[in-house]
Structure 1
Amino acid sequence: MEEKILITGANGQLGSVLANALIERYGSNSIIATDLKHKIKFKCYFEVLDATDYDGIQTLVRKYSITQIYHMAAILSATGEKRPHLTWDVNMETLFNVLEVSRLNNIKKVFFPSSIAVYGVDVPKTNAPQNFATTPNTVYGISKVAGELWANYYFNRYGLDVRSIRYPGVIGYQSLPGGGTTDYAVEIYHKAINQEPYECFLNKTTTLPMIYMEDAIRATIELMEAPLKNLSVRTSYNVAGLSFNPEELASSIKEILPEFQISYKPDFRQDIANSWPESIDDSKARKDWNWKPKYNLKKISADMIKNLQLHYNYKTQKS
């Protein structure tokens, strides 16, 4: 049976790259990208969709005979603290809609993105365990914990195959930052390429788990394609790439762009970062579906700078 894959939040930082990866893997006719607006020209079907609209999701599921849903629509951590009620409403209502539509229409698989934001201040800072109390102090983190529990419930109660990853901070050149606490690690490269100093909103020694976009997308697809019998985690898998702090990241950039300058002015996002672990234990993912990252910090900086230089040179030539 041909797969028909629906993606919500396809304009987003992760969703946009995931959509293109799925198009390349399954073909243009198998992918239906959706979002609130048609901002990106995908080489596949695109439908304007508000994921808070239950009937809208169901209409598309039936129109295209959808077999899988990647639910990427969400409000992220830093933005969420500014608008907590909206964040809770959007993040939870969209997930409920996807889970219910999937249950009632016999969807084979659903992907739900979780986050290291599920952890709270009590979590061990080093190698945060897969199975540890999740007591977040952000609305975004609370919504992700709730989402993990609902994913587990729908699997156990209805047999709906919901799969999930707790993403660390995601670094990529393909899109602009989307309002997350770890987005400094994307913003910093744009400043460096444009020969501008960067004022970091975290202090220089704040170590956080990160993952390069290519690794994050590969992990997502590998998990979704893993045999059901191999999976032992029905909440959300820890997935690690690497850990570093802003000072270490700036040093890796200076190895390529020695004139780059950085300063530090922590804001409310520092408190969010302080509640998260410095590294996470992803041994379950490695055992269950052979997860392994490919990118270290040196490779990330080289690839980010190369691709962003091409991007900005192209924009200059077009203007």
Structure 2
Amino acid sequence: MRALHKITTAAMMVTLAGMMGHVMQNASQFGLASQPAGLDVAGLTNVTAVANIADAPAGVEVTGVRMGVVAELPALPRRTVAADAAIGPLPLAEAPPAGFARCAAPTLKLAPAAGASVLLSISAPCAADAAAEIRHEGLVIPVQLDAAGDWSGLVPALAPVAGYALDLPDGQTLATAIAVPGLEAVNRVVVAWTGAPAFLLNAFERGASWGGAGHVRAEAPGVPDAAGTGWLLSYGLAEEGPHLQVYTAPAGLTGLALDLEAPVSDVTCGTDLRVGMRRVIAGRAEASEEIAVAMPGCDDRLGDVVVPLPDLPVSVATN
């Protein structure tokens, strides 16, 4: 814009100079050597109209013209170009709602474990904190996934080549299988039921008494890699969901007695309880059986109902 101001000023000065020459020439022609009093055109802005004296109407006598100094156009202050405001980094796009977040596909992994069992590992990020079910040879094993959607633990094997299926809450099912070495070297008893945790499986090894050394139960389950002793696995989540307990012992263990205990409570009194039993003897699975237990009335809520279970045969097929 400043360059345009310079050009405009120069053009006006050239025009004014031309008009001054024209006016002075006309003044000399008409003998206007001096300025008459009362006529002062200094500071007139419409100089072109005054300079064009030749165009004046007839009868008008011009007696004198004095041209004042033409004022220069005032210099406009220089404008300071404002600096562009800092924009800063563009905001990041918001993360999609949790319901639309993508997560890794679920996985089911199996590995052989001690005691002719299987270490089963679940990874299901989309099912964090959810309950899931593992199915194997007619058994339903309930498990609780953690905040990352993971679960890992021992599960029993009822067949030399054991297949497992994982049922997730969203309807997905994963299935895989694994060979289980050493199944012929153990005896295994499974009791399973649906509903309240109404049963307790007890194993008395080598003539053990109640609560003594060798009494394997939920409160003292033992460990699978202890030589010459048995161990117990327990599963169950919801009051009305599936429950099961699995006892495993070396096939050559002697002096072993098993029973099923049903405590009398507000939930069990006056009812007929039913529980299924499965056995694997030296690697051979037997047919399942159902055991019915008639519980005493609710006027007598003390004590337990104890049901003896068949003895496990002693096998020499053990290491």
Place the TM-score, normalised by the shorter chain, in its bin.
under 0.3
Structure with greater proportional strand content = 2
| Larger relative contact order (CA 8 Å, sep ≥ 6) | 1
When normalised by structure 1's length, the TM-score is 0.22
Under a length normalisation based on structure 2, what TM-score does the superposition of the two structures give? 0.22
Q: Would you tell me which structure has more helix in proportion to its own residues?
A: 1
